[in-house]
Structure 1
Amino acid sequence: MKFNKLTFCLLATSAVISFSACKSGLSDDKLEEKIENALTGRKTVDVEVEKGKVILSGTVASEEEKQQIESIAKTAGDKDVKSIQNDIVVSAPVATTPAPITVSNNDATLGAAVNTFMKDFPSVQASVKDGIISVTGTLEQAKIVTLKQGLDNLNPKKVDLSGIVVKK
């Protein structure tokens, strides 16, 4: 069978189009980045991608949130996600009412400011004495910097975080 130039060009073009259509989508790193961006604000959830397989881990407060995160990951990854392994753990919600802080009479103003600030950190307690804020409890490493900076902004003599246990 003889091929003329036109037939050869058509076959070559078809082959190039076929090969480019078979080209895989996003790299694992790009897919992971895309899913993490879609999950912005979910600091307790980790994303890993291996050969298009998405692995979700971390903790959330409810089964609904766990399923919502999986759905967001599927949507964000679209056709590049081959499968999702949802290893997210549903943990009991943390009490939203912080323990009251202990305040000496001379530190009432600082104590009130600390009490207001600590509402965002229900797993730790603070006490104020002689201008020194002492904090105890359990907190994730990522939140310790935010806690320290916020307490420093209240202008105490010192912030003592030695009573904090770092949660992994």
Structure 2
Amino acid sequence: MGLMKFSKLTFCLLATTVVLSFTACKSGLSDEKLEEKIENALTGRKTVDVDVKKGEVILSGTVASEEEKQQVESIAKTAGDKDIKSIQNNIIVSAPVSSTPAPIEVSNNDAVLGAAVNTFMKDFPTVQASVKDGVIAVTGTLEQPKIITLKQGLDNLNPKKVDLSGIVVKK
């Protein structure tokens, strides 16, 4: 008789455990509630957007540093906890705009810009370009229609300025 009671008790505990484990696997919050919960945790971060689809969290927007990007993801994970299936962090790190960039940044940017300019200039063998302090200076000879293409292409590299005063127009 004692064995029979033990078996019923064991069965009841097992059945309860099975029911609880099934309910624990199911997401408790709707996507809207989960999104709201994460947004509330990220209060004050107006440049970050949260979107939730089927328990998958998508973070987008911009922040000032890689550390802040990771911090936003961490806050979202903590706020959503077990209701999150996955997090896709599409946040872009955009450096704050500084009115006086440090000399190291300028020379580093010149190197990066210079490499992009050299790649672009391969299509224009009759002109040469140099980069100094974010300004692209072009010299040489070129036909008028190609000057427009050259200027647009160099502008797309986002320099401070494109100086074409050293170009002689070829007729």
User: What TM-score bracket applies, with the shorter chain setting the length?
Assistant: 0.3 to 0.5
Report the TM-score, using the length of structure 1 for normalisation: 0.47
Q: TM-score, normalised by structure 2?
A: 0.46
